[in-house]
Structure 1
Amino acid sequence: MKILVTGGAGFIGSAVVRRAVADGHSVVNVDALTYAACLENVASVAASPLYAFEQADIRDRAALDRIFEAHAPDAVMHLAAESHVDRSIDAPGDFIETNVTGTYNMLEAARAHWVRQGKPESFRFHHISTDEVFGTLGETGQFTEETPYAPNSPYSASKAASDHLVRAWHETYGLPIVMTNCSNNYGPFHFPEKLVPVVILNALSGKDIPVYGQGLNVRDWLYVEDHAEALLKVVQEGAVGRSYNIGGENEAKNIDLVQTICRILDDKRPSNHPYAEQITYVSDRPGHDLRYAIDPSRIREELGWRPSVTLEEGLEKTVQWYLDNEEWWRALQSRTGVGERLGTKG
């Protein structure tokens, strides 16, 4: 299968690219190389004859048309998105342009390609989204594929809008789509503005480890390589028009996650004090959802997938990766906004 992956130099996208090439698929990586992208993420496959790179912005329809004509993919895996909630609070327009208008452009470029090819039934447009479109949960319950949408941040609202566009292009034009909504990802190559790498890197540098509010917000944590495996399974085996929730089955309060990372660092890179002493509680961000939790029954029962990495195992692997790859993350720390407190303009 030849797969066009958007955002393939980003965190989740690069995991998909690496896994797809390893599985023998041809991959066309389309990425604008904005602040959160890094071609080092795909360096391990860059020399493969199965890999091609196209620098293009999904907001540029003409560029997308050229790429579809040049490569004629059998499937699209659309991951390119602005994804940091705090940045969406400060600059929501960027999220509308990329996540909504960019997805519209992708759908139209893919539809035009599909029509040119004679509308093959085997073609797939796989839209990768987030559990944040469902809003927030109380202390109990889980998101299912039937949970009503109730986004609470500019980021999640823009992703909800893109989800609705994808559904509409299937219902109106017959474009063969599949959709997935995932829980919080973590793992190697995670851009150093998200919670897990912030904890690791602030701990190592002796800085305060910021925890929003009292750290009681709960997330379901999904190891990124497990997620990549699930996404490739969906694009190949998922039912057309169907959506699948992908969760890690690893719920944890933010404060418990942070303390676990500190304990792992205490063991792997001892300091002259426990790293947990660097934890600092800071004012919460606006619209901070209390709890997310995924019911992964559909993907487990219909496609036979479930996560293989526990949270403790995944955090061990992740911490070790950051310890072993200092050159990678140091090169990214000078990028705009990294290391700053964002999302305070609300």
Structure 2
Amino acid sequence: MRRRIFIAVAGGMLAWPFSSAPQSLKRIPRLCFLTFDPGTPQSPAKRFEGFFERLRELGYVNGETITIDYLHPEGRSDRYPELASECLHRKPDIIAVTTTPGARALKDATTAIPIVMVVGDPVGTKLVASLGRPGGNITGMSQMTSGLAAKRLELLKEAVPELSRVLVLAYLVDPISPLQVQAMKEAASSLGVTLHVIDIKTADDLPVAFEAGSRVGAQGVLTTAESIFRDARARVTELAARYGLPAVYPYAAFAENGGLMAYDDLDDRDLHRSAADYVDKILKGVKPSDLPVQQPTKFQLVINLKTAKALGLILPPALLARADEVIE
């Protein structure tokens, strides 16, 4: 009798861990987050806070219900192929990427692991076949960067009607930059404006570029929309003020930093939150090819009147009336 009781208890003891093992030992998903901006999952770059906030709302807590690897190239765009390899080495279930060079490196590295991107022009840079039918293993968000570049030139011409020559600072190593320059050139031909394009490789190139713009008689300045300029915005706006050049920038933070005007998408935080939603859907079984690429639908014009006065510039009332924010 005792022997039978002992066996029953032992059997119960053995049965318990086996029946619960699949739940307790279940592998949590792994996300590789590749971006230009330094940070960590706990303290990401400010513009990605919406992405990580939304992940937490969806139940993805780093170290508990998901493992997140936050990779960045430490300011060196040539490291993206290396980081793509490192990302794949960590065997992620899904990848999120916020730069076109990073997305290109990942596209070359894998056709199997799902990739959710937030980049400037995924069709123009051939990351996806189309917005509605991205195809393959990549989908996400488009920031409409090329079209907005042309719009900024139009706004600069509206602010300075006599404008005929513009200095364009471009980070041409990024595949999205030449597309923006091309969009500006197409707009310039109808606006009667000549562009003087200078390739910026590092922020240290900026003073020389502004000096070159001064020599050719530039009456205004634009930058393409890449992280190098956002990170160097204080230096860019200081040089623009020094040379007396009105400018329209790709990020609102420029106007807040003393730039004349900025025109960008108002949905940037929402786009990053939507990217987190796509991560959730894919981890739950949806194919990337079945998720259309989303675009922003709202845009903002920010004008710094204090800077306009410092430049001796009287902005047209119609332009001021369209501003979403006026800094005085």
Provide the TM-score with structure 1 as the length reference: 0.34
Provide the TM-score with structure 2 as the length reference: 0.36
